[in-house]
Structure 1
Amino acid sequence: MKSIIITIMIFFVSAAAPKKLDSVGVYWGQDGPEEGTLVSARATDRYSILVMVYLTNLGSGRTPILNFTGHCNPTNNNCNMSEDIRFCQERGIKVMLAVEIYSLSSRDDAKNVSRYLQNNFLGGRSAYRPLGDAVLDGILFMNQQDLLYYDDLVIFLSNYNNNSSSGGKLSLAAAHPCPPPGSTSMGPAVDSGLIDLVFIESYSTTNSRQCDYNGNISEFKNSWETMNARIPARKIYLVLPASPQVAQSGFIPADVLKSEILPVLTKLPRFGGVMIQSKLGDDKTRYTDQINS
């Protein structure tokens, strides 16, 4: 009986007494020195996923731009964070890089972008690796809409072996706005089944508000059950702002999340956890501490 109780505590959140979430991720990299380093994010003991935000301007022959505001200047070759990355990975934290694709002009272009990501940030080799020789655990695509040849890029990347410092396979993730009502597709890239993690942004959506929690738990439950049934990802995460100031709409107070939202979501077979926007905001509001108190 004791082992059964322990299992329930780890993997489920009961309606009466929610327990600590199995997985909490956070976006890091856009709030300057005030948000601290990757090592300091690990030291909070709040997160299991750290997403470094971000690499932009990829595709169509453009020069990629690495932007970690206030942390380092890649033009001076001073963004080597390998020691910090490995420190986090060796302690069980998955470290991923958020990327934003400008456009992809062809299947060959998608292949070239995949090769660039593999050789400069993942398990490949390059004379110039912007973050140093540490091998990241995965890539998070931040595009808000499906692009031509996006699915080809996902296919090419999925064929690489990563062999990251944490020992896991390459993880591919996609941040996605809440799909519009009645939609049957998330786009070829997500529908391919090669995206491991899908982060559903449930606030400030422009095409739909069905994923926002508006006080009606039944509507919220129905929308998430529908997504869970049709998104072929391994895990689906709920992206949350750490404060009302971050979101134009859809902010969920921590006590409401614990008492009403998590008891619904944790019953879904592929619910992975929550993603917090952002590390600095979380430091100021202690949102994840309130969730896991």
Structure 2
Amino acid sequence: MRKTLLPLLGLAAHLSTVIISIHAGLATAVLENQTRQVVVFWGRHKDEGSIREACDSGMYTAVIMSFLNVYGRGEYHLDLSGHPLTAIGDDIKHCQLVGVNVSLSIRGNYDSLPSDQSAALDLLDHVWNAYLGGSLKGVRRPFGNAKLDGVDLFVERGTPAQHYAAGVLARELAKRSMRSGARKPVHLTATLPCAFVSRRRIDRGAAIKTGVFDSIHVRFYNSDDGHTDCSMYSEQVWDWWAAAFPSSRIYLGLPASPEAAKEGYLYPKSLYYGVLPVVQKAANYGGVMLWDRYYDKASNYSSYVKRWA
């Protein structure tokens, strides 16, 4: 009996090893197109820690400061929720030294954001001279001689005419960056609500299809315009986005905790097994964008995302 049992035990152990190996292989295979790119928004909570701390966490490849609010008629207001500006310039340089890109997100209420070309160019001049590679007498640089790596256009609601301004701004920033002879061009991104593109309304994105956006962050949370299919991740909607902007890297935008948004949070198990294997099939998959540093610091959500993105 013992002689019969030993081979059976050996066979069972071998089969267990094979099964474990197969499962490990499948777990690796479904996440083949990993970019390990994780973007986080910073600046919405004074007690989220400094931007230097965010960069030193090792969790992010890019940090987007939010927001430069645009009210129209040349009125701009940098709102970083009470973070002291005096230290941010040195922090930006530190982030760049450790390999983390830092951008500034521009947000308007889209009733007053300039929709004509001349007004958009005024905004361009302000951003270029106050935050990027330019300088102009009378234009204050809040971060001193620190030069940001990029600009993000945070689009909420608006008409196609107002979206036109985003296209103008992006094109002109790209041109000016090239003419300036900068060591590297300005990194241009857009952060858009999921409902901005759908099968029925895919033309809404035409105004920002400039071909100069390096990345587009799609917010699959807090749906607007009554689109319930955008209250959280949808495979169908993701496919529409990937098809609508083939020349841009598309990022999956998620809340970093259940408290970060009213809807859209994905628990790590759902993210790993249900979502990332699908979104990473897209040839232009870019990575994951998290809202925001404050909630991520509390939840440590990026510790999962960083490994799987």
Do the structures match in fold with TM over 0.5?
yes
Higher helix share: 2
The alpha-carbon distance between structure 1 residues 139 and 292, as it changes in their structure 2 partners (threshold 3 A), is: closer
After TM superposition, the structure 1 = structure 2 runs for residues 159-174 of structure 1, keeping only pairs within 5 Å, are 159-161=175-177, 167-174=183-190
Structure 1 residue ranges, 4+ long, deviating more than 6 angstroms after superposition: 17-20
The Cα offsets for residues 142-170 of structure 1, whole Å up to 9 and x where unpaired, read as 12134153322222212112799x95311
The alpha-carbon distance between structure 1 residues 50 and 20, as it changes in their structure 2 partners (threshold 3 A), is: same
Equivalent position to 1:55, from 62, 65, 68: 68
85-94 or 175-184: bigger deviation: 175-184
Question: 1:43 and 2:59 equivalent?
Answer: no
The one-letter amino acid of 1:54's match is F
Question: 1:26 and 2:40 equivalent?
Answer: yes
The corresponding residue for 1:254 is 268
After TM superposition, the structure 1 = structure 2 runs for residues 66-215 of structure 1, keeping only pairs within 5 Å, are 66-72=78-84, 78-79=85-86, 81-101=88-108, 102-104=112-114, 106-127=116-137, 128-144=140-156, 145=158, 146=160, 147=162, 148-161=164-177, 167-178=183-194, 179-207=197-225, 208-213=227-232
The Cα offsets for residues 1-39 of structure 1, whole Å up to 9 and x where unpaired, read as xxxxxxxxxxxx84556897510010101110x211111
The 1-side partners of 2:165 and 2:50 are apart by 35
Distance apart, 1:188 and its partner CA:
3.8
The one-letter amino acid of 1:150's match is A
The 2-side partners of 1:267 and 1:206 are apart by 27
User: What is the number of equivalent residue pairs in this alignment?
Assistant: 268
Equivalent position to 1:275, from 289, 294, 305: 289
The 2-side partners of 1:19 and 1:181 are apart by 25
After TM superposition, the score normalised by the length of structure 2 is 0.79
Instruction: Specify every segment of 5 or more residues in structure 1 that has no aligned partner in the other structure, as ranges.
Output: 1-12, 73-77, 215-219
Distance apart, 1:55 and its partner CA:
0.6
SS in 1 for 2:191: strand
The alpha-carbon distance between structure 1 residues 206 and 39, as it changes in their structure 2 partners (threshold 3 A), is: same
The 2-side partners of 1:162 and 1:35 are apart by 35
Distance apart, 1:234 and its partner CA:
2.0
The 2-side partners of 1:264 and 1:137 are apart by 30
The corresponding residue for 1:6 is none
Distance apart, 1:54 and its partner CA:
1.0
The one-letter amino acid of 2:290's match is I
